[in-house]
Structure 1
């Protein structure tokens, strides 16, 4: 029997909406016996207010930021009883999510929505919008 969903990609960014997306991804993975990958993309530009601060002097910025994010979701994953792994990338989030999903032949991306206003979406767009329009697999957006 060919399963519809075998590999799920869940990008996290430290936000509450990405935590909710991870919870949804875990539920889908349980129901379909799928493998889940947590993807952290650290943006090339500096820290974002409200998500994380700049890395302390002498610390690897990407590693330090990803550790901060992962601390928030690790307990959820440990108690989930699903198969999971973790990837950390650096770059523009939407591009990296789409690239990892394509290269890894993922069946589903489960991503959080930060809930930008219509004006904010028009001016700067959103990662979830860009992923929906460029991914070659199904995308579920969790509010």
Structure 2
């Protein structure tokens, strides 16, 4: 196992926690002289149809993909403003947890940085289901960044 962190992968979804994760990953990359990669995953949803929807116009998936691309580009811009040139920006489609883990393996990441809760309206008590799954399945250490103090830390 490698002791030095040379490649960091940060996952972003536009949530407050993922913004904080990106800031933490940026600081770590600068401090350690590590490459920084950023990923955003467009979740796959079952096809849906609406009555009266014009099938000749851009579809819902195309719109979701465009928004995802914009979000990723915005994150890359923020990283550059913070003084880090990302070694890679990755837009993936699929299950967010498995795509992040798979990409981390592909690029040989030494650390994955994620927010504790994502943009999903479903909230789990201490850690979100995506970040929990990444922690469970990743081949490397995972840093989970939390935006708020948990009830356990409050006095």
Change (3 A) 1:72 1:16: farther
Inter-partner Cα distance in structure 1 for 2:90 and 2:76:
13
Of stretches 74-83 and 85-94 in structure 1, the one that deviates more from structure 2 is 74-83
SS of the residue 2:31 aligns to: helix
Q: 1:140 aligns with which of 122, 138, 143?
A: 143
- CA-based RMSD: 2.3
Q: For the Cα contact (< 8 Å) 1:14–1:72, is it kept in 2?
A: no
Instruction: Confirm or deny: 8 A CA contact 2:8 2:36 kept in the other structure.
Output: yes
TM-score (norm 2): 0.73
User: How do residues 27-42 of structure 1 correspond to structure 2 at under 5 angstroms?
Assistant: 27-42=27-42
The 5-angstrom pairing of residues 92-107 of structure 1 reads 92-107=95-110
Deviation at 1:75, TM superposition (A): 3.8
Alignment correspondent of 1:45: 45
Q: Counterpart of 2:89?
A: 86
Task: Tell whether the 8 Å contact from 2:14 to 2:71 is kept in structure 1 after alignment.
Answer: yes
Distance 1:93 1:69 in 2: 15
Greater C-alpha radius of gyration: 2
Gapped runs of 5+ residues in structure 2? 47-56, 147-155
CA distance in 2, matches of 1:90, 1:80: 27
Q: Give the superposition deviation at 1:81.
A: 1.9
Selected match of 1:110 from 106, 110, 113: 113
With over 3 angstroms needed to count, the CA separation of the structure-2 counterparts of 1:90 and 1:61, relative to structure 1, is: farther
Contact 2:40–2:91 under 8 Å retained in 1: yes
1:6 aligns with 2:9: no
Contact 1:34 1:83 in 2 (8 A): no
The answer to whether structure 1 residue 77 and structure 2 residue 84 are counterparts is no
The count of aligned residue pairs is: 128
Q: How far off is 1:117 after superposition?
A: 3.4
How far has the Cα of 1:73 moved from its partner? Answer: 2.5
